[in-house]
Amino acid sequence: MGCFFSRRRKPAQGGQLPLQQQAGAGQDAAAGEQKAPQYSWDLRAKIDPKDYTFSGLKNETVGRLPGKVAGQQFVIQDCENCKIYIFDHSATITIDDCVNCQIFLGPIKGSVFFRDCKDCKCVVACQQFRTRDCRKLEVFLCCATQPIIESSTAMKFGCFQYYYPELALQFKDAGLSIFNNTWSNIHDFTPVSGENNWGLLPETAVVQDYVPLPSSEELKAVRVSTDATKSIIPITRGRRQKNSDESCLAVFFAGDYTTANARKLIDEMTSKGFQLVQTKEVLMKAEDAHRVFQQSALEFIPLLEKGPVVALEFNGDGAVEQCRSTINEVFSGTKVFVSESKASASQDVDNFYNFADMQMGM
């Protein structure tokens, strides 16, 4: 970091300061004796690392309520047989040498890093997810980028499912989109030939069976629901095998009700038995629109300036017809791109998600 030097003013003849400066210097000295200057950093509340650390705990239930972490870093280490709940957003979290713990971590703006942990069950939302030297972690995950495991075995993943009233705002504060979740797209940094170090949790897996609701009086004040239908994050199939060879792409454009409209379409389609495969929120440019929307591009290009689009892929026999019908009935006043036919739909899905993956560096 560079240093800044002020040019010294030459003293008046005889080595004396000019009279005005002498007077000013005298006043400054007097003021200095009376009261030291205050700087903005002196007025800030002092951060005590102990408030942002759980260390060396055994057989305990501990946590932080909404508003108590407020974007700070957090450390969890050397805990055994503990239930740990961070009901707030944070900058980064490291979890080291924990055994047989059940952990909930609210939205993390940066990375969460598990090291040397085993037999833990977790619910995690983050920008980046990484493990090293871990064994038998079962994780309900929301991750904006590709999750990475390294020197880790017997890892199992499911889609994040959780709700409490403050959670949506915490996702915003952490800069995470509820539609960007690559929970099942795991990259194994240290694969072993003939072995698979990770897999997916059963579709029927229920969060509460893995990470139970908090039982302490303080933490029960957070009104948690693990009901999948209330989850802040839409539940997606991810990399699980699709039930049908027919998918449909629907894309909502930025506006006051984009999130609400996307959630409404998800509810309508899933209630009719169609499955939500994947979702994405991403900025598009005119050239991207031509690549993805092809002949319809000119109709949608003016809408791209308002902000990111939200795309949904539904799967199931008759998905295109049902999706088009629902959009006509429920969203008649809203411009939505939707696949025109079963024949074009698979190309629509590939075009959009290939573009989105490149945009997000996947």
Annotated binding residue at 21?
A: no
Identify the CA nearest to 284 among candidates 337, 235, 334, 340.
Answer: 337
- Select the more confidently predicted residue: 22 or 138: 138
Do the strands 247-252 and 336-338 form a parallel or antiparallel pair, or are they unpaired?
Answer: antiparallel
Mean pLDDT of the chain: 89
Least reliable range by pLDDT among 81-90, 93-102, 140-149, 287-296:
287-296
Note the pLDDT tens digit of each residue in 41-97: 555 567 788 889 999 999 999 999 999 999 999 999 999 999 999 999 999 999 999
**Inter-residue contact 239 to 200 (CB < 8 Å):** yes
Q: What is the mean pLDDT of residues 322-347?
A: 93
pTM to 2 decimal places: 0.85
Sign of CA dihedral 259, 264, 270, 275: negative
Long-range CB contacts (within 8 A, 24+) of 214-217: 214/61, 214/63, 214/83, 214/85, 215/61, 215/83, 216/61, 216/63
CA distance 122 to 140: 6
Identify the structural domains of the chain with CATH numbers, from first to last: 49-221 (2.160.20.70), 242-361 (3.30.70.141)
End-to-end CA distance of the chain: 35
Annotated binding residue at 199?
A: no
Annotated binding residue at 322?
A: no
Annotated binding residue at 129?
A: yes
DSSP secondary structure letter of residue 67: T
Annotated binding residue at 13?
A: no
Annotated binding residue at 34?
A: no
36: pLDDT confidence band, cut at 50, 70 and 90? low
